[in-house]
A and B are shown apart, each in its own frame.
Chain A
Amino acid sequence: MISRRFRRRDGATGWALSAPATLAVIGFLVVPIGAVIAGTFMDPRGIFAPYLSYFNSGFRTTVLFRTLQIAALTTIISLIFGFMTAYVVARAPGRLKSLLIVAAVFPLLTGVVVRAFAWLIILGRNGILNQTLLALGVTSEPLEMLYTQGAVIVGMVYLFVPLMVLSLVGVLENIPRDVLQASSSLGASPLATFWQVLLPLAVPGLIVGAVLVFTGSFTAYATPQLLGGERQTVLATLLHQRAMVAFDWVGASTIAAIMTVITITIVLAMSHIARRINPMAT
């Protein structure tokens, strides 16, 4: 009896303590975003009219597929290089390992604008890369590297590789070395150990890393804006352009809704898969 009374009061205390943060998130995030999405279904032209006009526009569907493509390529490249780098970092001796971790954290703490700007200096028409290529005689006139899909992907990989490395180092460190040693002492080749032991154990971590990178690059603004410009319009830059330049609020809200639904679907689906593959993963 006494314990139940205490527990009920405890529950109330818990609610009271979390109330300010809860109300802030609901009032300033859930409701505003919900209103944006709900608004797209209240169009006088019909309930799905904004979506029909979105998908009927060749330009806008191209932007959607371009964004998905850039995000997918960024994720794959970051996974491959991030995994290899994380493997080396996880096996590095103590001091070197902390140094390598710090070297990955530093770019992560440097803002996205600064990091995109760096590539602007490198890839520009009179940029360092072009100057070098011209000096070496590789090319006779400067190459147009900026405002291409390649430039956006390089900038995005630059943005997200450190994130991938850091999240995979933790995963790889948690795989007991005994397991790998057992595999090789039982006669498995290094390649077999990698494919049959190490990789399956790392898959949940790879999925988490991939989700972070995919959603991050799918919704990034500064990098595609600076390195891709209008020629490589992506959903985020299109959203900004519709809202702030064209004042097309319905169009902007539709893009916002599409971005939100795709992002949340991917996060939920992938975390479900990660949990099914490994019940230990959180």
Chain B
Amino acid sequence: MSDRPHPILVGVAALVYLFLMVPLVIVVGAALSDTTYLTFPPKGLSLRWFENIFEISAFRRTIVTSLQIAFLGTLIALLIGIPAAYALNRFRVELPNWLGTLFVLPILVPEIVFGFALLKSLTAGAGVPIFAALLIGHTLLVLPYVVRVISASLASFDFSIEEAAISLGSAPVKTFFTIVLPNVRAGVIAAFILAFITSLNDVSVSLFLTGPGISTLPIQILAHVEQFFDPTVASVSVLLMFLTVAVMAVVERTLGLTFLAK
């Protein structure tokens, strides 16, 4: 087989990429339209739908809630996930295999089932406040990504360096922070970003964990789309895309873009 793919294959691949990009371009176009309805190509250019996002208090509130939940949930997932990933790699022999599988469960079970189970046992069952339940749900939702990405970085870490430091008299905890953690820095950054984006975009877990006055941005977008067909949602979508581009730029600066493909 020659090295160059068949022209038909190249053509199909080009069409697939067109299929991937065109809808996003249309959303950007619709967001800039100066009309009260969604249309493409935009009729007249205007940024008023971007202003409209912040004039609707439900959007303002849910943007803040979503950012809070994504940030706190990711932070907690890192706090409990990093030690777990470390233990899974460092004590591979001593710990049972099922422990690794346990941390993958949150992406193995259907998200929507997980959200429903949290509604049943936490908010409806035990009267847990919605914000706390959302935080718990999102922490668990992103935990598998954290454990996986950091485990992958630790897999290539040479633990004999750590042992050398400890046998030379460095305290184990100090060794972890001065030797191990700096070596998996890239993994921690990648885990943070992946977890943050996953939490920010989540629909299925949050779906059941919203209530009067508290909701997340994707749920608010769903609710808005079902009532109004104006370009506000297109503008919110563009804001989210900008955020994604910013995140990818950060990744590119710190880790190189091909890191994302791993």
Question: A residues within 8 Å of B by Cβ?
Answer: 7, 10-11, 13-15, 17-18, 20-22, 24-26, 28-33, 35-36, 81, 84-85, 87-89, 91, 98, 100-107, 109-115, 117-122, 124, 126, 128, 158, 161-162, 165-166, 169-170, 177, 180-181, 183-184, 190, 193-194, 198, 215, 218-222, 225-226, 236, 239-240, 243-244, 249, 252-253, 256, 259-260, 263-264, 267
Contact = CB atoms under 8 A, between A and B. Distances in A.
A255 to B, nearest CB: 9
Given A112-B203, A162-B20, A170-B261, 7 more contacts: A28-B118, A28-B136, A36-B120, A85-B16, A106-B248, A221-B207, A253-B120
A24 B116 CA distance: 17
Interface of B: 1-6, 9-10, 12-13, 16-17, 19-21, 23-24, 26-27, 30, 37-38, 40, 79-81, 83-84, 86-88, 90-91, 94-95, 99, 102-103, 105-106, 108-114, 116-122, 136-137, 139-140, 143, 147, 197, 200-201, 203-204, 207-208, 218, 221-222, 225, 229, 233-234, 237, 240-241, 244-245, 247-248, 257-258, 260-262
Given A101-B257, A244-B208, A122 B23 contact: yes
A32 B109 contact: no
B87 A17 contact: yes
A106 B244 contact: yes
Nearest to B119: A243
Contacts of A106: 24, 244-245, 248
A243 B99 CA distance: 32
A24 B105 CA distance: 12
Q: Which 9 A-B pairs have the closest CB atoms?
A: A14-B91, A111-B201, A118-B23, A11-B94, A219-B110, A32-B117, A88-B13, A21-B84, A17-B87
Contact of A117 (B121, B147, B234): B234
A239 B241 CA distance: 30
B99 A121 contact: no
Given A25-B140, A117-B237, A190-B2, A33 B114 contact: yes
A119 B23 contact: yes
Given A112-B201, A170-B261, A121 B27 contact: yes
Contacts of A100: 17
B33 to A, nearest CB: 11
Contacts of A13: 87, 91
Nearest to A94: B258
A219 B204 contact: yes
Contact of B248 (A109, A158, A190, A264): A109
